[in-house]
Amino acid sequence: MRSTYYGWFHGGIVDGAVTGRDGYPPVPKDPIPASLQTELLADLDLRQLLNLGDYKVVMHDKPLESRTVRATPGRLTDSTSPCYAELIGDDVFYQEDVFSGRYLKSLIRFRAFGPGNEPIRTFSTWTESRLAVFPPKEASANESALAELRMAYSNNIKSFAAFLSKPAKKKR
C-alpha cells in the first residue's frame, strides 16, 4: 500500500504516511498485504462479478511488479485456454486530504483473451472507497480500522466490476 497526504501547510509526499514521516498520520505497517488481498478476492464471487460464466478462477499468491503488468502485451501466464482473463490489483493507495477526507484507492486492470495471445478486451480504472476510521487514532481502534480497510478493498473490486459491466465506449 502506498499513501499520499495533503494538509494545510504540507503534504503531497508520496508514501509519507506509510513510511512514518513526521507530520503525517501514522498508518499501520503493511495493513493490506498481497496475501490479504488474495483472501479478500477469494471471498468474492469473481466469476459472477466479472460476468465470466464458466471460467475457473486461479489466484496467484506472488504479486507481479506493476512494470511487468504494464509492459507485457500478452498473457501473464503460460495458459493457452481460449477462456482466459486477468484481473490485476495494480496499485493500492491510502489518500488523506484535509478538504475531501480519507480514501482507499485501487488501480485495477482487466484483460480478456480469446484463443490468441492478444487481449480482445482491456479495461482499467481507479476505484475509491471513503474511510471513516482508518488509520486508527488509538491502538484500541486498530482492529475496526483494519476491518474497514478490508471492506473498502472489497468494495473497490465490486465498484470495478460494475464499471466493467457497462458497455464499452465506442472509439472515435
Mean pLDDT of 25-39: 88
pLDDT at residue number 1: 87
Question: 125-162: per-residue pLDDT in tens?
Answer: 999 999 999 998 888 889 999 999 999 999 999 999 99
| CA 46/CA 131 separation, integer angstroms | 24
C-alpha cell at 131: 474511510
| CA 110/CA 122 separation, integer angstroms | 6
Mean pLDDT of 19-33: 81
Phi-psi category of residue 12: left, alpha or beta, with phi > 0 → left and psi -120 to 50 → alpha: left
Is the pTM value of this prediction over 0.75? yes
pLDDT at residue number 10: 60
Is 50's pLDDT higher than 90? yes
Torsion of CA 162, 39, 31, 107, to 10 degrees: -30
